[in-house]
Structure 1
Amino acid sequence: MGEPLLPTSQTSLLAPKPPPPILHAKEPPILIKQGSLDKNKGGKKDKGPSKDEVMKKVDSMLDDYLNNSNMEEAVNSFKEQKIQDRFMSAVLTSMMNKALEKTDADRELVSTLLAKLKKEGLFNTAQFTGAFKELLGQMADKERAIPKIFSYVAGYAANSVVEEIMSLAEVAEMTENGAHYPLFLLVLQQLNKTLGKAELTKLFNDSKVNLLNMLPEIDKTKEKLADILEDKGLTFLFPLLRIQAELWKQLKANPNPTTFYKWIKENLDPSHYKAPGFINALMTVLVKYITQETTLPEGADPGVIPDKALQEKEKTLLEKFNPVLQAFLQNEINLQVVAVYALQVYCYSKQFPKGMLLRWFVYLYDLEIVEEDAFMKWKEDISDDYPGKGKALFQVNTWLVWLSVAESEEEEDGNS
């Protein structure tokens, strides 16, 4: 028999003792833990003041600035805050809000301070546009308490454009499709006062802003835009709208095509002849005149297809004005596309009278006013500048397919 087994307790006593793990590892964990605690304490200080603390300090700085107008002191105080990026937009919104219920002079002081802070590199354009968007979002809630809030906010926007804190195009982007309407037009009015017509016209043209896109969907017609610009003293920004009004006046006074063409030649600068705005205006007044005299008189129901006699009269009247359109559109595919868009928008403004768009597409093609290439270019073009494109495409798509096939067959016959 072998040796009797020792009890477990005795076995463990005889085995060589490893270094006690707890004793061996005890010090480092305590030291590490202690170190991390110390680090966290230091980290809290590094985080800087909370958002509320920053807001209070900036608010206090702004109070002092509005009382003593000391720009240097205000800028130094702002620098001392060392405001974190994540708080900056909220701080800028708060600064603009501060003067909303105060005087014009106070709002001017805030705008001047913001311009100086931007020049000092204390915030960037993205932070300011974020702040301005936040301000726009608050306007509706504050309108009752501050009835002129739209004008005051427009003042901030205009000053920021002048001081190059943000661009006119960026303001337009935040207010397109009638968002916060009529804010964008109020901004243009303020800029007109500050810069004058010549400088604003250059700024506006450089911005490539489409004024129609600044209107609410229901008002997106040139007629409505013309009225609004007239009311706000801004017609100089869209001179071709005035030309359209003059064209309409001439057409109503004497609807003779030869006289009408002669008036255009005598009164409009040749530089306008190839301008999309002029083609748009010309096409719009002709479509309006011809349909008012035939298929779409005042009070007509757009949901009812006009009788055949009226449709024939409509086509005959367009044939009379065909030489006028041909004079400006012949061999000009891009301008022909503009003419098609003018027709589309006119139909849109009249709730797409039943059958009208398709009828006019056929007229324009048969009378060789608009070529097949222009129709196809219009079909493929993706643009938000002209309302009603989706509905228009739906109404004429079958005809466009037919046109494409017919033209292809004609080309094949010509080549065989």
Structure 2
Amino acid sequence: MSTVLQQATDARVASIDLAAATRAEKDRALLLMATRLEESTGDIVKANEIDVRNGRAASLSDAMIDRLTLTPARIKAMADGLRELAALPDPVGDVVRGSTLANGLELRQVRVPFGVVGIVYEGRPNVTADAAGICLKSGNAVLLRGSGSALSSNAAIVAVLREAVADTGLPADTIQLLDATTRDSVKELMRARGLVDVLIPRGGASLIKAVVEESTVPVIETGVGNCHVYVDEAADLEKALAVVLNSKTQRLSVCNTAESLLVHSEIADRFLPLVLAELGDAGVTVHGDARVSSYGDSVVPATEEDWATEYLSADISVGVVDSLDDALDHIRRYGTGHTEAIISESLAATRRFAARVDAAAVMINASTRFTDGSEFGFGAEIGISTQKLHARGPMGLPELTSTKYIVTGNGHTRG
């Protein structure tokens, strides 16, 4: 048996005990995991420095280095995320619906863990703690397959988490890290049907596409974030400027960052000079259409590829549209179903936009950066799903469960 299949088998065994764990037992493990992370900050930062040094040597982009880097503050945020999870209700055992049938049978549909969850992700070692925590709280064993760029960081984090889990009496194999030095571990994980219940990819378009197309294990598809902000003709320009800047510049390297800006032609003369100046001051390169280019010498002509690109960098595509419906057509063509925003004081416009745009999250007069499990009050999220089955948008604890029907009778037989 290969190492990956052995780990999956061990995870399956661990998941049986974990599924029966009480909320108190799981919360105790989460709190100890948080404490141990903070206590191990120095060791984790040293391990991370190795990855960052190797990443720079491999010419990773600034955005990828930012995703990879761990600081004491980011490690504290990881620990705080685990504590927030401990404070959240346990979804396992929740009754989704229940009734007494006409024949007297009592019917309940209750939440249960998936069992074993595999997660394939790139770059961001903070995902290691987030994913381990949310899977544990929802009663699932987890197989973590991070990227080779975060090899040392992930190993240090998982060692701390496993020791904490074991010290509370839960199975250490609840949390396991797969080898990230070759692609073989990903291929085996994708084909471990019967041992792994669901696979969640988190990363760029090529990673997600490969997992979705090649996996025999059921996949919850997380999405690429080509997010748009549309500034309507009825927009408050002060609000619009603040939202666009926050959506684009608050953090460049994450999937809920705005990558495209659409401006209604009726307010282009007033708004574009303002926003182009502010974006320029923030160091953002604007890739614009011909009408946008007429408002600034620094605008780079946009290509067809620009409109479809998730930059994850200090770049944004900007276009002028003649109507709300033109904006919707543009988003329908180039959007990825993640987050779309409209800035408008028109109730009719915001309602039409919300009803017609196809996305996991729609922001009305608010930054795209709010599409986040923590911001939505879910605690640490496992990812943001752009599919339409089971889970869509930020996936919190309930999305990491399935259900079973429990039917109680009194010697009932069917005629």
**Shared fold (TM-score, shorter chain, > 0.5):** no
TM-score of the superposition, structure 2-length normalised?
Answer: 0.24
Q: Which structure shows the bigger proportion of residues in helix conformation? A: 1
* Larger Cα-atom Rg: 1
Q: Which has the higher contact order (CA 8 A, sep 6+)?
A: 2
More strand by share: 2
TM-score normalised by structure 1 residue count: 0.24
